[in-house]
Amino acid sequence: MFDLDQEIKGAKRIGIAGHIRPDGDCVGSCLGLGLYLRENYPELEAVDIHLESVPEKFRVLEGTETICTSYPEKTYDVFFSLDCGDIGRLGNAAEYLKTAGKVICVDHHISNHGFGDVQFIEPAASSTSELIYLLLDDAELSVSAAKALYMGIAHDTGVFQYSCTGRRTMEIAGKLMEKGFDFNELLDQTFFQKTYLQNQILGRALLESMLLMDGKCIISALRKKDLDFYGVTSEDLDGIVSQLRNTTGVEVAIFLYETAIQEFKVSLRSNGRVDVSRVASYFGGGGHVRAAGCTMQGSVYDVLNNLTLHIEKQLKGADL
């Protein structure tokens, strides 16, 4: 079993990073671990958290103001890679792995084949935040750290709706809630509430969606000009693919948006019959059985044709 005290013994400088375009679990796990180390290991000279950005909705968490969104040249005794399926998704933070005394990878993505000196990878876990909790002493966990981990678990389970939610997940969530924060307000602020523009772009995506494969697959795509027209960024698109997946009769939802000329960020969600991590991995991405993503080149039609070909094969196999 992973022993945090032993793994960081003798370290003075610790770095923590998560994947590019950080989501709730990424921010929650990085911040939860970072706060815990700062609060319980006074001998540490530095505990730096590096993330590409921190979405505004997550800034309600204490400690987000200390997250570094730049990557100055530094050397760490121990470096944690959290919620990242492969080194490439660490972005600029991957440079720290080259000079770190020890690299520890904690993750729950099924597409993660393991990297670094120490791995704690459990694909069956609901979230990396759940795994981070298992490494910590609950008695020493502050309210601020507990809030971060709770948010991370809630976001990656769709507020405890997804199949990755197990008994252990709920027990951990309950222990975190007992720390005494307003978990309903936290979920409202970080998960449920949408800005007016976010609701507008969601409406546009739903309005222009289409059903394929006898209603088993739903697709929607947004061009960069659409995002510019509404004045939204990629952060404002969170939740669109999950809303598409909620359509009656749908097994797989595909949402893509243009990031550059003929380049699209693809999000995939499944109700279980299709392993979308296999689809995403084929195109250089990754994720989980029911939630995955990748980046693809070509026209909208090229991207959708390639994706649906792989999805259709799995659906036909499931029907045999």
Sequence-separated (6 or more) residues with CB below 8 Å from residue 9: none
Output the CA torsion 309→239→157→65 (10° steps). Answer: 130
Q: Where are the beta strands (DSSP E) in the chain?
A: 13-18, 46-50, 78-82, 102-107, 118-121, 210-212, 217-222, 252-260, 263-270, 286-287, 291-297
Residue 171 belongs to domain with CATH number: 3.90.1640.10
pLDDT value at position 318?
65
State mean pLDDT over 295-310. 96
Instruction: For residues 44 and 185, state if they share a domain.
Output: yes
Instruction: For residues 180 and 255, state if they share a domain.
Output: no
Instruction: For residues 179 and 296, state if they share a domain.
Output: no
Instruction: For residues 184 and 202, state if they share a domain.
Output: no
Name the domain boundary from 139, 174, 192.
Answer: 192
Is 156 in a helix, a strand, or coil? helix
pLDDT value at position 320?
44
State mean pLDDT over 59-88. 95
Instruction: For residues 55 and 185, state if they share a domain.
Output: yes
Residue 248 belongs to domain with CATH number: 3.10.310.30
Model confidence pLDDT, tens digit, residues 196-243: 999 999 999 999 999 999 999 999 999 999 999 999 999 899 999 999
Instruction: For residues 183 and 206, state if they share a domain.
Output: no
Q: What percent of the chain stands above pLDDT 70?
A: 99
State mean pLDDT over 37-49. 97
Instruction: For residues 30 and 86, state if they share a domain.
Output: yes
Residue with the larger pLDDT of the pair 33 and 320: 33
Q: Which domain holds residue 159?
A: 4-192
**pTM: predicted TM-score of the whole model, two decimal places:** 0.89
Lowest mean pLDDT, pick from 9-18, 107-116, 146-155, 301-310: 107-116
Instruction: For residues 153 and 202, state if they share a domain.
Output: no
Name the domain boundary from 158, 192, 226.
Answer: 192
What b/e readout covers 174-200, taking b as 16+ CB neighbours within 10 angstroms?
A: eebeebebebeebbebbbeeeeeebeb
**Which residues are registered as beta bridge partners of 275?**
none
What's the pLDDT band for 75 if we cut at 50, 70, 90?
A: very high
- 232 DSSP 8-state letter: -
Instruction: For residues 70 and 178, state if they share a domain.
Output: yes
Does the pLDDT at position 319 exceed 70?
no
What's the pLDDT band for 288 if we cut at 50, 70, 90?
A: confident
Does the pLDDT at position 111 exceed 90?
no
What's the pLDDT band for 316 if we cut at 50, 70, 90?
A: confident
| Mean pLDDT, the chain, whole residue set | 95
Lowest mean pLDDT, pick from 109-113, 148-152, 270-274: 109-113
Instruction: For residues 222 and 253, state if they share a domain.
Output: yes
Does the pLDDT at position 36 exceed 90?
yes
Instruction: For residues 143 and 223, state if they share a domain.
Output: no
Instruction: Tell me how many domains the chain contains.
Output: 2
R_g over Cα of the chain: 20
Name the domain boundary from 149, 170, 192.
Answer: 192
pLDDT value at position 287?
85
State mean pLDDT over 91-104. 97
Instruction: For residues 139 and 213, state if they share a domain.
Output: no
